[in-house]
Amino acid sequence: MPPVLLLGTLLAQASGPVAPDPERIRKALERQPAITTAASTDESGRPVFRMSVRALTSDKPIWDNWTNVPSYIRPYHRGYHHEFLEMVTPEEFRAATLYPVGIPVIPLLELLSKHRATVHREAQEAQAREEVRQALAELLACRADPARAGC
């Protein structure tokens, strides 16, 4: 019974296609637009659009544990895993297995990736500057001698 009621409700709400009213559309186009912008153009007369996006960024990575409890208080392993490791690990290897202490690798990897991104961006900027410099030199050479090949 509920599917029949749902189908009946949907069919009652469905309406046929509405034909566009040309008079309404013409009147809407004749009205003053709600938003106007000052059109800026470049040297060739093409419109230029600029946008700036501002967003808050977090200093901590997404996978960071967002707790105020220090890491030396929180156990590294769950209780049952710790008990299992105590049972299967020989006595002479328990220190490294049950109480792992090591170098925090993730902050080092983050630092390396930031450095790599900076170096990559600077290389791309230098390459773009060189490309623009060459294009400008070619343009100036073509303006000086229009009969030159490639102009």
Looking up tokens 């949907």 gives: 10
Mean pLDDT along residues 12-26: 71
pLDDT for 126 equals 93
In this structure, what token pair is assigned to residue 118? 């900076």
Distance CA 142, CA 139 (A): 5
Report the percentage of the chain scoring pLDDT > 90.
13
Q: What is the pLDDT of residues 97-119, one digit of tens each?
A: 666 666 778 888 888 999 999 99
> What is the pTM assigned to this prediction?
0.33
In this structure, what token pair is assigned to residue 9? 């409700």
Window from 63-67, 90-94, 135-139 with minimum mean pLDDT:
63-67
